[in-house]
Amino acid sequence: MPDNPPPVPSDPQAGKNPAAEDPAARRNVCNCFQVTYGDLQKMFDATNGAGFEVLKKYYHVGSRCTSCEYEIKDLITVYREERRLGHIGIGGGTVPWRRRLERAYRELRDSVRRRLTLRRFGLFVVRDPSGESSLTLSNLKFPEDHSNANGREIVFHLTLFDAAGRVLGRRTGLRLPSGASREYFLPEVFPDLPARFHGMLFVDYARLHQVGSLRPYCCFNFDRGEGGYRGRWHYHDKYSLAPYNGHFHNNHPLIAGQDCWMAVSNPCAAPYAGTVRLRTADGRIWAHAFTLPPHGSWWGRVRDLFPGQAEVPAADPNALLWLDHNQRLMVWFFWHKLDGNIWVVQHH
């Protein structure tokens, strides 16, 4: 769809955005860039119903994890249909000049940044009898591209922190050629790692052009048998240096026959101080002060966050757990089935 379609008649309702007054308008649609439903309506109005690719190009929406793409496309369809029923033409994507200039500046800035700085991503990692994390990387081109945008190989560095935020080890100058995939178990990269350990792993890419096909993933490997691990779940990075709107929550912290575990890492150079709260179906709320040192991590059962509160039920399908501080943090949840060594992991 062209970026510069012919002009269309002005909309007498332009500037009026009923959705902006609706509480639902404050709901995030694109969590990566904190774009709300109301923000999208303004984008639709400003561009006269631009398509998803135009909004992605000039407004960033859906350009990071892509999980909101189909919802945004549905909203575009609804917007266009409402405009059509109002007998007002849709131009298909007239992007304001200010937005075009902002994009040109952003491309120049990002090009310089790619050459001078590292692209950092963060992952929680664990190694104990319950299971072991491994890092998986693939250096692949997108199917629609003729070649790999990152060239013939990528260069990356690994930094491992322990639970207290101390650096346990660094590996620099690791390389992965185009078209290759690799899985790294922690002892392979850091031979002196203790048998019991949890912490955070930073993956730094040098001179990176795009990260879409390079996103670092971890696999949580469990139930070691004679031939190796018999089960595994993947979970991925939390974009440690990206904008973040906070308020992590888990709406299944108390499941019958399962223990819910929480993995938390602080990617910041400043300490984290907040509160973790548990609300049960009867309306009761338990609270526990939760702190982490810079680059520190925590790994444990959700129930262990509330010591001495035996009245917390063992199971409650309507319970809710959340962290109420919007400081940047990385959080994952794991569920361990008690009648067998079976784990389920929240992948993002």
For residue 109, being part of any structural domain is answered with no
| pLDDT bracket for residue 2 (50, 70, 90) | very low
Distances (CA, A) of 222 to 160, 219, 229, 259: 21, 10, 6, 15
Is residue 86 predicted with pLDDT exceeding 70? no
Mean pLDDT of the chain: 81
Let me know whether 87 and 165 are in one domain.
no
For residue 7, being part of any structural domain is answered with no
Q: What is the pLDDT of residues 161-216, one digit of tens each?
A: 999 999 999 999 999 999 999 999 999 999 989 989 999 999 998 877 777 667 78
Q: Which of 189, 72, 193, 182 is CA-nearest to residue 138? A: 182
| pLDDT bracket for residue 156 (50, 70, 90) | very high
Structural tokens at position 46: 């400003």
Let me know whether 215 and 180 are in one domain.
yes
Residues 6+ apart with CB under 8 A from 146: none
Structural tokens at position 39: 């923000």
Q: Is the dihedral of CA 224, 225, 229, 232 positive or negative?
A: negative
The pLDDT, as a whole number, for residue 148 is: 86
Domain C-terminal end among 72, 98, 124? 98
The pLDDT, as a whole number, for residue 182 is: 94
Percent of the chain with pLDDT over 70: 81
Q: What is the pLDDT of residues 89-112, one digit of tens each?
A: 444 556 677 767 777 777 677 666
For residue 13, being part of any structural domain is answered with no
The pLDDT, as a whole number, for residue 210 is: 73
Q: What is the pLDDT of residues 10-54, one digit of tens each?
A: 343 444 444 445 555 678 888 777 788 888 888 888 888 888 888
For residue 2, being part of any structural domain is answered with no
Domain span including residue 74: 18-98
Strands (E), the chain: 28-30, 35-36, 118-128, 131-139, 153-161, 167-177, 180-185, 197-206, 217-225, 228-236, 249-250, 258-265, 272-279, 285-292, 297-301, 320-323, 330-337, 342-345
The pLDDT, as a whole number, for residue 4 is: 42
Percent of the chain with pLDDT over 90: 36
Structural tokens at position 348: 């993002």
Residue 153 · residue 175 · CB < 8 Å: yes
Distances (CA, A) of 72 to 11, 43, 327: 22, 11, 27
Let me know whether 201 and 274 are in one domain.
no
For residue 111, being part of any structural domain is answered with no
Let me know whether 207 and 268 are in one domain.
no
The pLDDT, as a whole number, for residue 296 is: 97
Q: How far apart are CA 183 and CA 170, in angstroms?
A: 17
Residue 161 · residue 200 · CB < 8 Å: yes
Structural domains of the chain, count: 3
The pLDDT, as a whole number, for residue 15 is: 44
Structural tokens at position 232: 């595994």
Comparing 247 with 264, which gets the higher pLDDT? 264
* pTM, 2 dp: 0.70
Let me know whether 195 and 279 are in one domain.
no
Q: What is the DSSP string of 108-148?
A: HHHHHHHHHSEEEEEEEEEEETTEEEEEEEEE---TT-SS-
